[in-house]
Amino acid sequence: MSQNTLYATQECPLGTVYLATDGDSLTGAWLEGQAHFATAEELGEKVDLDSQPLLAQAAQELDEYLAGERTSFSVPINPAGSDFQLAVWQALEEIPYGYTTTYGEISKIVGPHAPAQAVGQAVGRNRCIIFIPCHRVVGADGKLTGYAAGVETKQFLLDLEEPTSEKETRLF
């Protein structure tokens, strides 16, 4: 991260979210207490949310998403990562709202020799939680697997995105 990275916090139904920017794009989004939380360098200098238009936009879009009013984000995103991580995160961005995929399927997208375990590690190090939808990746058997912000948070996000037609047909 550059010395010009700025961050602000916002309260949301999932707790406190930390949003970081380089001024041109969102460089990070972390939920307080999640695994692989930002370093001080990744966060940068704390500012008021409204003092940075890009941070204010990210916060508004996150609020709209969590209220069920938004299905995609338009804020520019540019997290730092290895080439492999960036390839995995790009694949995550292709998973449509309301759908899930597996680590194995992501592995096939990013390369013929990419083990699902390596994909899982890259998914777990996602620097823009929710904005890059790592919560949409499940185990090969369809079960929820680890999530940096906790499996309960992953379930919350998947429930939020579940199509209305499927919700209506559930017995419980």
Written as one letter, the residue type at 40 is: A
What string of DSSP letters covers 5-43?
-EEEEEEETTEEEEEEE-SSSEEEEEETT-TTPPPHHHH
Catalytic residues: 134
Element holding 46 (H helix, E strand): strand 45-46
